[in-house]
Amino acid sequence: MSDLTAWLLSIGAFAGIVICTAYAAKAIAGDPPRGRRRCPRCWHELGPAEGPNPALQCGECGHLSRNEADVTRNRRELVRAAFAVLGVIAIAAAARVRLLDRGAWSMAPTSVLLFATPGVSGGGYRSAAWELAYRVRSGGASDAQVRDAFELFLQGDDDARPPGQAWRAKYRDLGSAAMARLGANDPLMLRLLEIPPAFEVAALGGCLLPDGRGAPPLLVLDAECWWPAGIEGRLELSFADGTRRFAEFHPDGRFPALLMEMPAATRAGDEVALTLAHRRIGAGGGSGAGSVPGDDRAWQAFPTVKVVVPSLPEVASMPWTAADGAELRRILTGVFDQGLVLWSSGSPRGGLRFDHRVTADEAFEGMAIGLRVEVCEHGVPRRTSRMWWSGGSLARQPRWLSTLEDAEAMQRLYAQVDAGDGRVSDARVDGWTLRITGDERLAHYAAVARGRSSLGAAGRGDAKSGAEPEAQAQSETVLQRWFAGTIEVPLRIERMPSPAPVRRWKAIDAAAADRAPPETAPIR
């Protein structure tokens, strides 16, 4: 809707209600006689009342009135008043339907919404920001207004500055609508890189085992970014003891959260420095298909964000027993019977297919499942997945650490599989097996996770603490066993002629990160 149309509709509706209301009031109030004698049919004046028998018959239309009161009554136009009232109702109903559907701000012109949105607190359905986003998305805003709305999204207001929670709640829809209107190739989209990332951080407690081995605490992390297409990121995590960890980041990739092992000495309250850098995909080695035109910068870092490790109880040792058996092995083999998918390119090259719901069986009731699943070449692990979940009726979604993969070995395996028509299902290669091994350390993560809820938000200053003691005690009581067996079966392989799907997070080693260090200067 253009501003002119919005103004005309708003002013026209208001004026129509005022005029119809005034006309109805005047028609109902009527025209008093004020001493005049009038014909009640045509309202022609009959003249003064003279003599004992004043004239009651109209000389204009011939109507004979019944008495003197009939010719001196108030003149009301009830039919016209009824039509005026119906007009008021119709206009009000039309306005009410619009107000109920989109709120009071739907009556305001777009230029007024652009001016008023920063000064109106809050967002959500039928707010000024929501209505502005609706106009932008539906094409009701001009191109110039779309760019003004995009600028408003970038800047926020005094009560909602990016990338805070208040800003996201108020301006997220507006930003999505403006980006859709602008298109991925609009140069203005590069200004999205001015918005700092918003981090969400939680943690899973580690464990100490009687034999001295231990599972370190895990940092559970995700970042919300507003980047144009063709941008990749790299995250550096610096812990209090000087340890550094690195991960690649692709905002539009699969699997949202990153699980990263923290140093064993990490304690609740320690600070972790998060430095996220970005660059155009292919900036160091040619331009990619999804690259952003006109941006040839190398790695550029956002200002470092420091978050606090949430408080989590450390589990000394779970009161459970190791479990193994032919039935348990048979069921776990069924979890992974779809085997390994190999893509033509990408990293990681392989993808392990599995269905953890198979363990929703009485045999796994009260059991923590922590597994190292290894793709082996003549007994040598070439790809390792580390995952955990709880079995039986209390099963939850599995979680896992980043995959460890030998890229050269995966390339060899891909070449060994008969290409055929470009895709091979249910292939076997001699010497390659799938080894499934129970791991008590990973099983502890399944136990701790039972006392956890969703991802916290330490990056926003409101991090959730760890599992409550009651929840932890419940986990220790319910999970009474952990799977301790080892299974090795021939590897089933499916070769795919397409690139691997992009992972949102991928842990990388320090050597890979140091080959292309990000610039230390923050983005302005």
For the chain, the structural domain boundaries read 3-104, 105-182, 321-500
Identify the pLDDT of residue 132: 92
Q: With b meaning 16 or more CB within 10 Å and e meaning fewer, what string describes 80-109?
A: ebeebbebbeebbeebeeeeeebbebbbbb
Question: Which one has a higher pLDDT value, 508 or 264?
Answer: 508
Which range scores top for mean pLDDT: 83-97, 397-411, 508-522?
397-411
| 503 vs 517, more confident | 503
Calculate Rg over the CA atoms of the chain. 37
CA distance linking residue 259 with residue 268, whole number of Å: 17
Higher pLDDT, 514 or 279: 279
Q: What's the confidence (pLDDT) of residue 313? A: 60
Query: What pLDDT does residue 75 have?
Result: 66
Mean pLDDT calculated for residue range 153-164: 92
pTM higher than 0.85: no
Beta bridge partners of 204: 218
User: Is pLDDT at 251 greater than 50 in this prediction?
Assistant: yes
Contact 291, 261 (CB under 8 A): no
Residues 185 and 220: beta-carbon distance below 8 Å: no
- Of 402, 400, 463, 399, give the one whose Cα is nearest residue 200: 463
Q: What are the tens digits of pLDDT across the range 178-222?
A: 999 998 889 999 999 999 999 999 888 877 776 666 778 899 999
pLDDT of residue 9: 61
- Residue listed under structure tokens 């039309």: 94
* CB neighbour burial string for 408-439, b if at least 16 within 10 angstroms, e if fewer: ebbeebbebbeeeeeebeebebeebbbbbbbb
Across 242-253, average pLDDT? 92
% pLDDT > 70, the chain: 76
For residue 491 the two structure tokens come to 């590897």
Helices (H) and strands (E) in the chain, counts: 12, 23
Confidence at residue 265, expressed as pLDDT on a 0 to 100 scale: 81
Split at pLDDT 50, 70, 90, the class of 466 is: very low
> Residue by residue, what is the 3-state secondary structure of 143-187?
HHHHHHHHHHHHHCECCECCCCHHHHHHHHHHHHHHHHHHCCCCH
- Take residue 334 and report the two structure tokens written for it: 């069924």
**Rounded mean pLDDT, 389-417:** 88
d(CA 186, CA 90): 45
Q: Is the pLDDT of residue 455 over 70?
A: no
Q: What is the mean pLDDT of residues 1-30?
A: 68
The total of other beta-carbon atoms located within 10 Å of residue 54's CB is 13
To the nearest whole number, what is the mean pLDDT of the chain? Answer: 80
Report d(CA 467, CA 176) in Å as an integer.
Answer: 35
User: What's the pLDDT score for residue 512?
Assistant: 60
On the CB side of 207, CA atoms within 13 Å amount to 21
Main-chain phi, psi angles of 246, to 5 degrees: -135, 150
Dihedral angle computed from the Cα positions of residues 467, 472, 478 and 479, in that order, rounded to the nearest 10 degrees: 80
Mean pLDDT of 102-111: 78
What residues contact residue 72 under an 8 Å CB cut-off, 6+ apart? 33, 36, 37, 38
Euclidean distance between CA atoms 205 and 219, whole angstroms: 9
CA distance 133 to 178: 8
CB 309 within 8 A of CB 463: no
Give the range among 61-65, 357-361, 499-503 with minimum mean pLDDT.
61-65
pLDDT of residue 35: 66
Q: What is the predicted pLDDT for the residue at 91?
A: 72
Q: Does the pLDDT at position 237 exceed 90?
A: yes
- The reported pLDDT for the residue numbered 40 is 74
pLDDT band at 37 (very low <50, low <70, confident <90, very high): confident
The set of residues, in sequence order, having a beta carbon less than 8 Å from that of 45 and lying 6+ positions away, is 36, 37, 38, 39
Both tokens of 86, joined, read 């119906």
CA angle 335, 338, 339 (to 5 degrees): 100
pLDDT at position 27: 73
> CB–CB of 382/491 below 8 Å?
no
Largest separation between any pair of C-alpha atoms in the chain: 133
Give the mean pLDDT of 56-83.
74
The residue that leads in pLDDT, 357 or 421, is: 357
pLDDT tops 70 at residue 6: no
Range name among 97-111, 329-343, 356-370, 454-468 with the lowest pLDDT average: 454-468
Residues 6+ apart with CB under 8 A from 211: none
Segment 128-132 shows an average pLDDT of 89
Mean pLDDT of 144-173: 92
Confidence of residue 517 (pLDDT cuts 50, 70, 90): very low
Whether residue 153 contacts residue 178, with contact meaning beta carbons closer than 8 Å, is answered with: yes
Q: Is the pLDDT of residue 34 over 90?
A: no
State how far the Cα of 238 lies from the Cα of 205, in Å rounded to an integer.
19
Q: In what order do the strands lie in the sheet with 340-342?
A: 350-352, 340-342, 493-495, 424-427
Distance CA 457, CA 201 (A): 5
Which of the pair, 493 or 75, is modelled with greater confidence? 493
Above 50 in pLDDT, residue 139?
Answer: yes
pLDDT digits (tens, 9 = 90+) for 414-434: 888 865 555 555 678 889 999
pLDDT band at 523 (very low <50, low <70, confident <90, very high): very low
